[in-house]
Amino acid sequence: MSTLNLYVALIHFPVMNRKEMPIGSALTTIDMHDIARASKTFGVKGFYVITPFMDQADLANQVIEHWTKGVGGELNPSRKQALELIRVAATFEEAVQKIQEKENQPVVAVATSAKNLDGAITIATLKQKLASNAPHVIVFGTAWGLAEELIDKCDLKLGPIAGHGEYNHLSVRSAASIYLDRITNG
C-alpha cells in the first residue's frame, strides 16, 4: 500500500441535531479509539478531534495520554500506536492550519455526509486527486452530521456510503472505517 498524504478530522462543532439545527456534540471516547485504529490501519498520517469545549478537550487529552504515555500504552502497544495519531484542536480551521504547517502546502478538505450533497465526488475521483500528493483531510461529523457552514468551508464533498436499502444511519466510526477502506483499497 502506498502512503497517502491523508488526514482525518472528527467534528463535534458545528454539527447538526435531529431537528437540523447546528449544535455542539459530546465527545465519545469509543469514536476516538476506533477511528484512530482505522486511521493507523489504513495509513492516515494524523487524526484531529475537533471540539471547542474545554472539558471535552481535556477528556480527549486524558484518554490520549493514558494510552500513549500511561499504563494503557504499556499494556496495549498497538492501541498506543493508533492513539499517537490523535491531536485535539478547538476548531476545524486550527486543525487545517496545523496540517498546512506540517506539510508546508495547502490542505484539501473533503466533507462527508450521509446525505446526497450537490457536487459530491466519488471515491474513484478522490483517489485520483490523492495521487497529486497534496494533503487531504477527510472531515466527519458527529451527532446528525456536519453543519452546512462547515461543509461550505470544505473544498470537496464526498458522496455518501450506499447500503442495500434506504436505511442510512451509520455510526461515525463505522463510516470512517468504510470510507478509509474504500479510499485506500481496490
* CA separation for the pair 158, 183 (Å, rounded): 11
* Count of all residues that appear for the chain in the document: 186
* CA separation for the pair 184, 64 (Å, rounded): 25
What are the tens digits of pLDDT across the range 145-164? Answer: 999 999 999 999 999 998 89
pLDDT at 167 over 90: no
Burial state string for 13-26 with b = 16 or more CB within 10 A and e = fewer than 16: bbbbeeeeeebbbe
Q: SS3 for 139-178, per residue? A: EEECCCCECHHHHCCCCEEECCCCCCCCCCCCCHHHHHHH
What are the tens digits of pLDDT across the range 110-147? Answer: 999 999 999 999 999 999 999 999 999 999 999 999 99
The model's pTM is 0.96
Q: What are phi and psi of 15, to 5 degrees?
A: -130, 175
Say what the pLDDT of residue 25 is: 98
pLDDT at 1 over 50: no
> How would you class 63 by CB atoms within 10 Å of its CB: exposed for 0-12, middle for 13-18, buried for 19 or more?
buried
What are the tens digits of pLDDT across the range 36-78? Answer: 999 999 999 999 999 999 999 999 999 999 999 999 999 999 9
Classify the C-alpha dihedral 151-171-95-57 as positive or negative: positive
* CA separation for the pair 109, 147 (Å, rounded): 15
Say what the pLDDT of residue 186 is: 64
Domain ranges of the chain: 6-184
CATH of domain 6-184: 3.40.1280.10
Say what the pLDDT of residue 165 is: 87
